[in-house]
Amino acid sequence: MGWAGRSNGDLPRLAGARGFDAFITADQGIEYQQNLDTLPIPAVTMIASRTRVQELRPLVNQVVVVLTGDLQRRTYRVTESPIVNP
């Protein structure tokens, strides 16, 4: 996709410009690093103790629930417990 070397701040905007429906990340700081009011697409943050596949895999079902729902242009936080919205 040619996104190598792009800053994390560019990624949600690039995804929106390329027609993605949502931006999924494990970066728990995105809420503090980005102006969420200006994100072009919803962002889904996976909250786990580590960002290894073993810790993120249990969150996939909750991510699917978010993505198949009525998405708003905002940030969603997904944990092993029910979905937490800021």
Q: Which residues contact 71 (CB under 8 A, 6 or more apart)?
A: 21, 22, 42
C-alpha to C-alpha distance for 58 and 61, rounded to whole angstroms: 7
How confident is the model at residue 64, as a pLDDT? 95
Whether residue 86 is predicted with pLDDT greater than 60 in this model: the reply is no
Summarize pLDDT for 2-33 with one digit per residue, the tens.
Answer: 777 777 778 888 888 899 999 999 988 877 77
C-alpha to C-alpha distance for 68 and 8, rounded to whole angstroms: 25
Summarize pLDDT for 30-76 with one digit per residue, the tens.
Answer: 777 777 677 888 999 999 988 899 999 999 999 999 999 999 888 89
56's enclosing H/E stretch is helix 53-56
How confident is the model at residue 74, as a pLDDT? 85
Site of tokens 């994390």: 8
What are the boundaries of each domain within the chain?
11-78
Whether residue 84 is predicted with pLDDT greater than 80 in this model: the reply is no
Q: Which of 23, 44, 74, 50 is nearest to 6 (CA)?
A: 23
